[in-house]
Amino acid sequence: MAEPPDDHGAVDDRRTVKVSKYLSKHLRHQPERIGITLDANGWVEIDTLLRAAAEHRFRITRAELDHVVAVNDKRRFAVEGGRIRASQGHTVEVDLDLPAAEPPAYLYHGTVPRALDAIRAEGLRPMARHHVHLSADRETAARVGARRGRPVVLSVDAAAMRRDGHVFRLSANGVWLTDSVPPRHLRFPG
């Protein structure tokens, strides 16, 4: 059962994290687990999502959902009218229908030391996701890498990749997406 908002309309931080993780899981990876179907672009009606969550014993109020969308520092979710979707990071088949965008000359990717040999050999690959995720600044890339251990930040020569025909897209939450990054376009730290 959802924790009620306090007197100021704020939602408990622990509950906010739980709701955010629940939404990420079902809007990015396992919509079928709660019986929802994302459209081709990853959208689902908010009422449908809230009803499905309640039927699976995870009641979310519209106020909680709106709060999670509004306060998420990574802007993981987008709301358009009465629909919601995850901004990026899907493992289920969706087309976010993002236009090609001109990236800055350099982008960054956060990883960990144990992944460096494979990256040197194969470059960056999307793995279970649809795209490689890149950051516009080193600090964000370091935070991403730190989720799995001591971070290593790689520089990506995005300008050279564009000249070679690679396409970049910018998600609603500021994450740069591309199909892969060949080793020749990567700069490894010292």
For the segment 157-172, what is each residue's pLDDT rounded down to a tens digit?
999 999 999 999 998 8
pLDDT of res. 2:
43
Q: Does residue 137 sit within a domain?
A: yes
Q: Does residue 142 sit within a domain?
A: yes
Domain boundaries, position 156: 106-187
Give me the mean pLDDT over the 4-16 stretch. 62
Domain boundary among 54, 86, 118: 86
CATH number assigned to the domain comprising residue 30:
1.10.10.970
- Same domain flag for 75 and 128: no
For the segment 54-104, what is each residue's pLDDT rounded down to a tens digit?
999 999 999 999 999 999 877 889 999 999 999 888 889 888 889 999 999
Number of domains composing the chain: 2
CATH number assigned to the domain comprising residue 120:
3.20.170.30
Q: Which of 40-49, 66-75, 173-182 has the lowest mean pLDDT?
A: 66-75
Spatial contact of 110 and 148, defined as CB atoms under 8 Å apart: no
Using alpha carbons only, what angle is made at residue 85 by residues 58 and 109, rounded to the nearest 5 degrees?
Answer: 110
- Same domain flag for 18 and 67: yes
Q: Does residue 47 sit within a domain?
A: yes
- Same domain flag for 115 and 166: yes
Q: Does residue 160 sit within a domain?
A: yes
Q: Which of 3-12, 35-44, 133-142 has the lowest mean pLDDT?
A: 3-12
Helix, strand, coil percent content, the chain, rounded in steps of 5 = 35, 20, 45
Alpha helices (H) in 56-149, listed in sequence order: 62-71, 116-122, 138-146
Q: What's the distance, CA 11 to chain centroid?
A: 23
For residue 88, with 0-12 CB atoms within 10 Å meaning exposed, 13-18 middle and 19 or more buried, which class applies? buried
pLDDT of res. 12:
78
Q: How many CA atoms lie within 13 A of 146 on its CB side?
A: 6
Domain boundary among 25, 58, 86: 86
